[in-house]
């Protein structure tokens, strides 16, 4: 039975990438050694990391004056690294509270300064993106989470603000076009649209580095990693390698612009089915729909159980919603084919 993986992460990657990665584990490019055993100081890995950085810049249109880093610790470490580097003691930082991850980021920032929410959608269980908020000009930075994997909302606007803009793009990076020049720092865990868990992508404006607010432990200082080109210590070699392979795949698909069109098609098909089906209800306000994580609920327990059984029978996995949101969640990351969405839609239509 073909498996249709709607998991939120670690998530589906293209089958050809899995095969290339498997070959690299056995013998990297015919050198007689595995990607798992080569030195991170070797010429073979230097080619890999430089190619990965180059692909990030090419696919996202990263302008001059930015550095591309591959760090460890997941996006969650960035929640504390960012204020440690850029939030002065007793300084203020603005956050847009749109879900669990933005809330956790704000909580970490409290250890270093005075973060606050300029707006929040917590009043309606994070089912919308706040609008018409103001960002004060006396803050160290403004932090947003562009896609909320748990609740299924997404920000498509590159905000114009007069302060440094920082974005957690862990679950929608490389899924749509963005204007990198609007941001001072972008970060993303690899395990959604980029590669396997283990690496965290950071795109940082070099000028922003000069705003470091305090003396920082060496490993937690962004400048350390910029100066050493992500090689201050042993990086997550395998994750970077597979990320490079996946970015090569994305380029071969036509890049971010082409994959965005496919992602729109997948999301529109599923949302249309949910909205027209009398037994299912979308969780999120229409103007805040995420293309990456579509969340919805059944009208009662009987429908929910029948739907889950039908999913199991048709090879649909990881469709249950996050424990904090309940219901269902279909994650439509780049590598998920339209054919899998069509299978899910047909299963939903069969529930009467």
Active site residues: 101, 168, 192
User: CA-CA distances (angstroms) from residue 103 to 64, 81, 82, 279?
Assistant: 32, 15, 14, 32
The DSSP bridge partners found for residue 293 are 331
| Max intra-chain CA distance, the chain | 62
Report how far Cα 174 is from the mean position of its chain's Cα atoms.
8
Say which DSSP state 172 is in. Answer: T
Both tokens assigned to 261:
């069109």
Q: Work out the burial of residue 313: count CB atoms within 10 Å of its CB; fewer than 13 is exposed, 13-18 middle, 19 or more buried.
A: exposed
β partners of residue 97: 120
CB-based contact 266:31 (threshold 8 Å): no
In eight-state DSSP terms, residue 195 is: S
Neighbours of 346 (CB within 10 A): 12
CA distance 131 to 121: 10
Contact 288, 98 (CB under 8 A): no
Nearest to 188 by CA among 246, 254, 136: 246
Distance CA 232, CA 40 (A): 10
**Dihedral pair phi/psi, residue 320, rounded to 5°:** -70, 145
Grouping H, G, I as helix, E, B as strand and the rest as coil, residue 282 is strand
Distance CA 153, CA 300 (A): 23
Please tell me whether residue 121 adopts helix, strand or coil conformation: coil
């Amino acid at each position: 039975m073909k498996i249709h993986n709607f998991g939120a992460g670690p998530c589906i990657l293209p089958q050809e990438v899995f095969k290339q990665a498997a070959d690299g584990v056995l013998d990297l490019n015919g050198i007689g050694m595995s990607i798992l055993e080569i030195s991170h100081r070797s010429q073979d890995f230097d080619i890999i990391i430089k190619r990965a950085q180059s692909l990030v810049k090419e696919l996202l249109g990263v302008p001059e004056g930015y550095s591309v880093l591959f760090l460890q610790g997941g996006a969650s470490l960035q929640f504390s690294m960012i204020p440690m580097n850029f939030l002065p003691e007793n300084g203020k930082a603005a956050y847009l509270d749109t879900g669990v991850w933005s809330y956790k980021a704000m909580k970490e920032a409290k250890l270093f300064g005075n973060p606050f929410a300029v707006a929040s959608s917590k009043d309606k269980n994070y089912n919308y993106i706040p609008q018409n908020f103001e960002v004060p000009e006396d803050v160290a930075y403004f932090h947003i989470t562009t896609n909320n994997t748990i609740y299924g909302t997404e920000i498509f606007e590159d905000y114009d603000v007069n302060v440094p803009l920082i974005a957690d793009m862990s679950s929608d990076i490389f899924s749509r076009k963005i204007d990198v020049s609007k941001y001072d720092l972008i970060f993303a865990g690899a395990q959604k649209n980029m590669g396997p868990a283990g690496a965290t992508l950071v795109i940082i404006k070099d000028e922003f580095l000069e705003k470091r607010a305090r003396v920082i432990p060496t490993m937690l200082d962004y400048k350390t990693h910029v100066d050493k080109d992500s090689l201050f210590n042993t990086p997550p070699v395998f994750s970077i390698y597979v990320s490079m392979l996946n970015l090569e795949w994305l380029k071969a698909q036509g890049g971010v612009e082409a994959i965005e069109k496919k992602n729109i098609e997948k999301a529109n098909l599923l949302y249309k089915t949910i909205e027209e089906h009398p037994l299912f209800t979308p969780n999120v306000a229409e103007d805040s729909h995420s293309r990456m994580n579509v969340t919805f609920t059944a009208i009662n327990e009987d429908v929910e159980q029948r739907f889950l059984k039908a999913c199991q029978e048709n090879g649909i996995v990881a469709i249950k919603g996050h424990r904090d949101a309940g219901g269902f969640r279909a994650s439509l990351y780049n590598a998920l084919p339209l054919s899998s969405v069509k299978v899910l839609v047909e299963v939903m239509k069969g529930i009467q």
